[in-house]
């Protein structure tokens, strides 16, 4: 590791020697390359996060680039598109009924993130290839539901909403980022508190108090279906689920009205006629709810999946110590929705500190589409390598180097070196030698800065660091 770090320094020194006159921009980019290449040259020491010390161990896989995002909290930054989208959704859930949790720590236990939600021990989400581990017992939350059981246990209000940054190892492209934002909400009724213990009657009474809308709604399927969308018959009656489902759908249809009415007020559609806002409910499966649905919106000529929801699995409520409660829950991705509402083409832009981006947004009453301030050329570089042995396809647990090769591990190496200078990564070739059985993979990396033209020699320096780190981290043989 240390020897590789020294070699990287020599590589960068040679490159700088060939470029004696560096602009301020060049110096900044050089520091970026140096930091990315050398940050991985030693075993990570204990981590101090949120004022606490965390020991690292063999499970630790969270890089410094991800930890640097923890303080950003885009969903709480005034006038940021993520925060504006959050505010629009929150406005549909009155604070008198729904407590708001927007500042919960992203550092959670494995028990909170997985066990409290009854994730099976062999669930792929538990793998180091999918989740950022601080140590064997501690992770960066992969979803807002990591806080669900704790909030149910507190039982402080009939409902709640959570908005938060969440973290997952993922592909690299214009719509995926290892840090993104989710929002979820829930509404509960307690059998011991509603009049006569009649949940269905209490829910219908609450529904009558809610504002109506004029959306076109397509909801052709029955509330429950024994195979596709089963009732939790041990805990719920059909009448209760019919009432709770109706309350859930009316609540989320109100979210559609708020979001897309605001979008209509933007400049996005000023030049053309306005189409009616239509929604449809589609049967779905989610591990935390049953029955479950997805809500889709017809927008600008296409059906868009907006969110998922359903009747909360009762075992979660039992585990949280509130077995007398029943209700619904939903979850939505804020980044994807903000990209849609503000016409933002690249998810990396959300993390930009460039005032040319941030100054374009103000309030939820004035949603305006993003105006591109630059378009810089792409710089493509290929990297091909052999795996030491092979038994299955890449990305799904390919066996190599005495450990499972996973495409997310490759993506993490590229992201840690290239950071936001990498726009996307695609596998362009896969070959298995007919005699030896060795497998070769080739990936194409698109280096493109959002803020300045990336010169070929600058991309070459980053790419060389990527190549060396692939050998160092994944044990591949470069071709």
Task: Give the pLDDT of residue 266.
Answer: 63
Dihedrals phi, psi of 476, to nearest 5 degrees: -80, 165
Q: Which residue has the tokens 């299955």?
A: 392
Task: Give the pLDDT of residue 17.
Answer: 46
- Neighbouring CB atoms inside 10 A of 172's CB total 23
Task: Give the pLDDT of residue 24.
Answer: 40
Q: Which residue has the tokens 């060396």?
A: 468
Strand order in the sheet with 289-299: 98-101, 159-167, 179-190, 325-333, 302-312, 289-299, 278-286, 216-218
pTM to 2 decimals?
0.83
- 311: nearest Cα among 236, 212, 361: 236
Question: Is-contact 25 32, C-beta < 8 A?
Answer: no
- Neighbouring CB atoms inside 10 A of 243's CB total 24
- The whole-angstrom separation of Cα 152 and Cα 291 is 20
Task: Give the pLDDT of residue 362.
Answer: 82
Task: Give the pLDDT of residue 274.
Answer: 67
Strand pairing partners for 185? 161, 330
Task: Give the pLDDT of residue 404.
Answer: 66
Task: Give the pLDDT of residue 435.
Answer: 86
In order along the chain (479 residues), what is the average pLDDT of each group of 10 residues? 39 45 47 46 76 93 93 94 95 96 96 90 92 96 95 96 96 93 97 96 96 92 94 96 98 93 64 75 94 93 92 94 97 94 92 90 79 83 83 38 72 91 92 88 91 87 93 91
- 159: nearest Cα among 213, 112, 223, 206: 206
Task: Give the pLDDT of residue 403.
Answer: 46
What does each C-alpha distance from 300 to 57, 250, 294, 314, 318 come to in angstroms?
A: 50, 23, 19, 38, 43
Task: Give the pLDDT of residue 133.
Answer: 97
Task: Give the pLDDT of residue 455.
Answer: 87
Task: Give the pLDDT of residue 389.
Answer: 67
The conformation of residue 241, written as its DSSP 8-state character, comes to H
Task: Give the pLDDT of residue 437.
Answer: 85
């Amino acid at each position: 590791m240390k020897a590789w770090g020294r070699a990287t320094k020599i590589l960068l020194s040679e490159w700088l020697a060939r470029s004696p006159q560096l602009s301020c921009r060049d110096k900044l980019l050089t520091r970026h390359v140096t930091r990315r290449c050398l940050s991985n040259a030693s075993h990570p020491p204990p981590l101090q996060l949120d004022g606490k010390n965390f020991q690292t161990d063999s499970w630790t896989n969270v890089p410094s680039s991800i930890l640097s995002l923890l303080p950003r909290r885009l969903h709480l930054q005034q006038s940021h598109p993520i925060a504006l989208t959050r505010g629009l959704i929150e406005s549909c859930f009155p604070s008198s009924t729904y407590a708001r949790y927007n500042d919960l720590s992203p550092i959670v236990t494995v028990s909170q993130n997985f066990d409290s939600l009854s994730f099976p021990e062999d669930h792929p989400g538990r793998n180091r290839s999918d989740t950022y581990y601080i140590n064997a017992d501690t992770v960066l939350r992969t979803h807002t539901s990591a806080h669900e059981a704790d909030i149910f246990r507190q039982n402080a209000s009939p409902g709640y909403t959570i908005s938060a940054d969440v973290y997952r190892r993922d592909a690299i492209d214009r719509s995926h980022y290892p840090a993104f934002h989710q929002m979820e909400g829930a509404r509960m009724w307690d059998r011991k508190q509603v009049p006569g213990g009649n949940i269905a009657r209490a829910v219908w009474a609450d529904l009558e108090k809610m504002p109506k809308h004029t959306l076109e709604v397509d909801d052709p399927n029955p509330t429950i279906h024994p195979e596709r969308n089963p009732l939790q018959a041990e805990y719920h009656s059909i009448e209760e689920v019919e009432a709770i489902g109706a309350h859930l759908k009316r609540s989320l249809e109100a979210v559609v009205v708020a979001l897309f009415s605001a979008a209509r007020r933007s400049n996005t559609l000023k030049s053309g006629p306005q189409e009616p806002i239509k929604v449809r409910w589609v049967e779905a499966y989610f591990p935390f709810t049953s029955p479950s649905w997805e809500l889709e919106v017809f927008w600008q000529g296409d059906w868009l999946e907006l969110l998922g929801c359903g009747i909360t699995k009762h075992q979660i409520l039992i585990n949280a110590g509130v077995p007398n409660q029943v209700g619904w829950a939903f979850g939505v991705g804020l980044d994807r929705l903000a990209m849609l509402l503000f016409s933002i083409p690249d998810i990396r832009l959300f993390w930009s500190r460039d005032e040319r981006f941030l100054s374009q947004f103000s309030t939820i009453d004035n949603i305006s589409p993003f105006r591109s301030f630059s378009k810089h050329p792409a710089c493509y570089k290929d990297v091909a390598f052999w795996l030491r042995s092979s038994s299955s396809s890449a990305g799904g647990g390919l066996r190599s180097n005495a450990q499972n090769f996973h495409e997310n591990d490759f993506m993490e190496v590229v992201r840690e070196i290239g950071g936001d200078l990498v726009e996307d990564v695609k596998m362009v070739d896969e070959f298995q030698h007919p005699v030896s059985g060795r497998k070769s993979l080739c990936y194409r990396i698109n280096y493109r800065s959002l803020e300045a033209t990336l010169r070929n020699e600058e991309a070459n320096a980053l790419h060389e660091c990527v190549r060396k780190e692939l050998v160092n981290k994944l044990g591949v043989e470069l071709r």
